[in-house]
């Protein structure tokens, strides 16, 4: 599943292409197996990232505002093609097609895709606020408020790895950052949230914000302060390899509510409950 920085990078790449541009055609698919529904020509007004959701604001020829929301999940992607060129995936896998004068943008296999009217003054899809907590890449982020929100809402018995991945508490942390920030704070992934001190909780989200902001730029995702060539991460993807700090073999298991791939150092993150 894409991390929050991935969606912000995508939004940054699409803004100069889309914002203020007249689209020749917009088509979306409502459900798997349904045909693409044509919405006609439109003008793209804005592109924004909200956690792991990409929001495209559009205006129809009759002046009606619309919004296209995509959540890529594990397998979704946006592709760009020259007009008339062959797609790398079958047309049946396309859930949104935006045709510009000089290119075609196609969204394949999203976890979610929603096409809906955008009410006057609202720049968000209905109920998104209830699903998505504060975006850790929001320039106006109040990190103290985020930590207070998580502390007040998280189930004390819930493993901290699941709390970090809960986008309704704070948006942007994915599977890679989950493992990396837990390592940086010396916190075992299965530690119950109620046993995580307020200082450590603040440290986890502070590290997540720092790493997300650091990686909203071209190039590989890097979490180590002094990364070596092709060794950019502390623990993620390094099962059995020596810890960069203590040398102990990195452990791996599928943990948590959704059995997500998790990596940790048994020495630096001691305290398996």
Positions annotated as catalytic residues are 2-3, 52
3 state DSSP class of 273: coil
Distance CA 233, CA 266 (A): 17
CA-wise closest residue to 69 among 79, 57, 55, 59 = 55
Environment class of 59 (CB within 10 Å of its CB; exposed 0-12, middle 13-18, buried 19+): middle
Distance CA 200, CA 124 (A): 33
- Within 8 A by CB and 6+ apart from 254, the residues are 260, 261, 262
Is the distance from CB of 187 to CB of 204 less than 8 angstroms? yes
Is the distance from CB of 105 to CB of 87 less than 8 angstroms? no
Instruction: Retrieve residue 23's tokens.
Output: 């689209």
Is the distance from CB of 100 to CB of 81 less than 8 angstroms? no
């Amino acid at each position: 599943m894409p991390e929050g920085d991935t969606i912000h990078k995508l939004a940054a790449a699409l803004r100069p292409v889309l914002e203020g541009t007249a689209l020749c055609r917009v088509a979306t698919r409502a459900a798997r197996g349904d045909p693409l529904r044509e919405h006609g020509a439109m003008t793209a007004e804005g592109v924004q990232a909200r956690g792991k959701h990409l929001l495209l604001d559009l205006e129809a020829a009759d002046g009606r505002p619309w919004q296209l929301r995509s959540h890529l999940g594990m397998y979704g992607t946006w592709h760009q093609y020259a007009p008339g060129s062959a797609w790398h995936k079958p047309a049946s896998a396309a859930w949104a097609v935006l045709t510009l004068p000089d290119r075609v943008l196609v969204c394949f296999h999203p976890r979610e895709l929603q096409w809906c009217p955008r009410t006057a003054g609202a720049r968000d899809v209905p109920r998104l606020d209830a699903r998505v907590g504060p975006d850790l890449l929001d320039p106006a982020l109040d990190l103290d408020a985020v930590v207070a929100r998580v502390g007040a809402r998280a189930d004390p018995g819930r493993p901290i790895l699941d709390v970090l991945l809960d986008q309704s508490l704070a948006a942007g942390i994915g599977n890679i950052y989950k493992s990396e920030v837990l390592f940086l704070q010396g916190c075992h992934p299965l530690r119950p949230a109620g046993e995580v001190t307020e200082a450590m909780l603040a440290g986890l989200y502070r590290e997540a914000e720092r790493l997300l902001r650091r990686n909203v730029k071209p190039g590989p995702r890097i979490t180590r302060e002094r990364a070596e060539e092709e060794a950019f991460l502390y623990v993620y993807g390094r099962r059995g390899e020596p810890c960069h700090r203590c040398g102990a073999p990195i452990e791996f298991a599928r943990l948590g509510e959704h059995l997500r791939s998790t990596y940790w150092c048994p020495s630096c993150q001691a305290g398996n409950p």
